[in-house]
Amino acid sequence: MKTKSSFTAALISVALLGGSIIPGTVYSGPLLKANGVSTSQDADDYYRIIDPDNLRLTQKDWRIVNGFEDKDGKPIPGNEIVVVGGHKNVSDLGFWRRIEMVIDKRWGKRRNVAMTTFNFATESDAFLNQNPLSIVNMEYSPGPNGDRITKFYIYGADGTRKTSTHFDPDPATAENLY
């Protein structure tokens, strides 16, 4: 029950984040700057803790680990991917998005939940799934102590893991955040 409650609380807090921001504005305050993560070295240290075996160095690696596809790019039997394409939340960061989610059903991975969010500058890019500006992934799976935690990974458009990204689709106002 504790796991279910914790997971539900995490989902509710994420869902309500946008509601705490003035509609129609792009949030640029300190909320997105995680406590203690402000440099590339901090981000590297974070990745060493949540991915000590470097199993998720690329977006493809991350998708394989989380049950989106096998090493040949084929679907995992029993794992259904839910896709929302062309989403834009004006009270959030201002990106057009494509979001994919899977609840892993493989033995030893059951109840792991993973979401990948592709961020785009334009509506057409989001619908066509082309030219992502960044990819931000969330994974709810066992952490370093064995308890389920939410972990975040950032990938560039080329699929390589990054230590920073900017959370603003407008290059004139974008701030690089770690």
pLDDT in tens, 59-113: 999 999 999 999 999 999 999 999 998 888 666 678 899 999 999 999 999 999 9
Please name every residue paired with 177 in a beta bridge, in sequence order, or none if there are none: 165
Per-residue pLDDT at 170: 63
Domain that holds residue 125: 2-177
What average pLDDT does range 167-177 have in this prediction?
Answer: 58
Strands, E assignment, the chain? 81-88, 96-103, 113-120, 134-142, 148-155, 161-162, 165-166, 176-177
- Only one residue has tokens 């494509």, namely 98
Query: Burial of 57 by CB count in 10 Å (0-12 exposed, 13-18 middle, 19+ buried)?
Result: middle
Distance CA 17, CA 19 (A): 5
Comparing 87 with 51, which gets the higher pLDDT? 51
How many structural domains comprise the chain?
1
Burial of 96 from C-beta contacts in 10 A (0-12 / 13-18 / 19+): buried
